[in-house]
């Protein structure tokens, strides 16, 4: 083995050690980075809370087939109501979020 080859081997080995060290140090730091679920809804508020009065649900015009469908993925353009945005989100991220569905029941 010549001097050129041994120098190359040393340089590649040193680069590999530095790379492995960098990944070992940076991976935990990057893993702890904040990844909020809500990326766009009412971001200026400390906590997003929406109320739907039970008496008003029938008048909201959001009941379809006896159901009121509420968003839980934070992607809906009609938030707090579901517009089906979770379907694309689930395909892109391999997630499994879905809506909250309130069913209208007959009064007893």
* CA pair distance 56, 69, nearest whole angstrom: 14
Q: Which domain, by its residues, includes 28?
A: 1-33
Number of domains in the chain: 2
Residue 92 predicted with pLDDT over 80: yes
Task: Report the share of the chain in percent with pLDDT over 90.
Answer: 18
103: annotated active-site residue: no
Kindly tell me if the per-residue pLDDT of 20 is higher than 70: yes
State how far the alpha carbon of 30 is from the alpha carbons of 5, 10, 17, 79, in Å.
36, 29, 20, 30
Residues 58, 83 share a domain: yes
Q: What angle do CA 51, 102, 62 make, to 5 degrees?
A: 70
Q: How many CB atoms lie within 10 A of CB 50?
A: 11
Catalytic pick from 32, 47, 107, 108? 47
Residue in the block written with tokens 């940076």: 26
Q: Check whether residue 61 and residue 105 sit in a common domain.
A: yes
Is the same domain home to 29 and 41? no
Is there a single domain that holds both residue 21 and residue 41? no
pLDDT at position 87 over 90: yes
Q: Are residues 27 and 63 in the same domain?
A: no
Rg (CA), the chain: 26
Check whether residue 28 and residue 41 sit in a common domain.
no
CATH for 88: 3.40.5.90
75 three-class SS = coil
Angle, CA 96 vertex, CA 45 and CA 48 arms, to 5°:
10
Q: What pLDDT digit, counting tens, does each position of 36-73 carry?
A: 778 888 889 888 888 877 665 666 555 677 788 899 99
Same domain, 41 and 58: yes
Residues 58 and 96 in one domain: yes
Give the model's pLDDT for residue 51.
81
Tell me, yes or no, whether 93 and 52 share the same domain: yes
Verify that 21 and 43 share a domain, yes or no: no
Within this chain, do residues 16 and 48 fall inside the same structural domain, yes or no?
no
């Amino acid at each position: 083995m010549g001097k050129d080859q041994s120098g190359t081997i040393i340089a590649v080995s040193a680069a590999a050690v530095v790379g492995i060290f960098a990944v070992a140090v940076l991976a935990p730091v990057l893993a702890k980075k904040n990844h909020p679920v809500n990326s766009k809804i009412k971001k200026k508020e400390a906590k997003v809370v929406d109320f739907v009065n039970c008496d008003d649900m029938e008048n909201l015009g959001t009941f379809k087939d006896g159901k009121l469908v509420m968003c839980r993925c934070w992607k809906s353009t009609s938030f707090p109501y579901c517009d089906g945005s979770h379907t694309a989100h689930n395909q892109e991220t391999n997630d499994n979020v879905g809506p909250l569905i309130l069913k209208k029941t007959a009064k007893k």
